[in-house]
Amino acid sequence: MLKLYVADTGLISDPQVYDRFLSKVNEQRRAKVLRCKNEEDRRCSLLAGVLLRYGIEQEGMDYDALEFSVTQEKKPVLVSHPKIHFSISHSGNRAACLISDRQAGVDLENKNRRLFAAGQKKRLMTVAGRIFTEKEYDAFLNAPEDKRQEFFLKAWTRKEAVSKAAGKGLAMDFSKIDEAEENYLSFWLDEAYYISIYVEEKIEEELELCMMN
């Protein structure tokens, strides 16, 4: 089972809708939403929580009756349903939630991030040198200029997805992550967003993608 739910923050742009959905997520997610420093981040964080609720309910579970906890690495888990795994991500004005029956992670990135802006080439190369394996960095340097953004997004989102599956986040050494191709699904969600999914076992089933409108 591999199900991905994606939505735009426009779904909760109305203040009344926002408040209603804020009351529908659990206390941990609500607190995380309210800690966000700006409105767009709050919307994205809330939307990710809403997608999680929807995805869980699609599996026939009562979200309000579930007990959420975190592992020692601070990874959120379902205490009463340890065989159901989830991962959420948000960037720009999009949020995504992955539901799986195996350890998995998802990362979504907006291509219009500051790192790709004009005048940021030196910083981009510095970040690439820090997070890529030696083989990846050589391939990045040899990639055509117009392909480097996609190369970076693919590598970054895959590494983020691995770290989320492990529950380590950015604390994980990305330069040590070099998983087999068969463990990933990576693609452009649309012209602005790139997404990667990592599963600890070989991915054999088709991804069920649900774009929420």
Q: Give the model's pLDDT for residue 68.
A: 85
φ, ψ (nearest 5 deg) of residue 196:
-135, 145
Percentage above 90 pLDDT, the chain: 42
Percentage above 70 pLDDT, the chain: 96
213 residues of the chain, pLDDT tens digit each: 999 999 999 889 899 999 999 999 988 889 989 998 888 899 999 999 999 999 999 999 999 888 888 777 778 888 888 888 999 999 989 999 999 999 999 999 998 877 776 667 788 888 888 888 888 989 888 888 888 889 999 999 999 999 898 887 666 778 778 777 888 999 999 989 999 999 988 888 889 999 987
CA–CA separation, 66 and 107 (whole Å): 25
The domain limits of the chain are 2-113+145-212
Q: Give the model's pLDDT for residue 169.
A: 66
Identify which of 156, 160, 159 has the alpha carbon closest to the alpha carbon of residue 128: 156
**pTM of the entire predicted model:** 0.89
Q: Which CATH architecture has domain 2-113+145-212?
A: Alpha-Beta Complex (3.90)
CA–CA separation, 151 and 170 (whole Å): 19
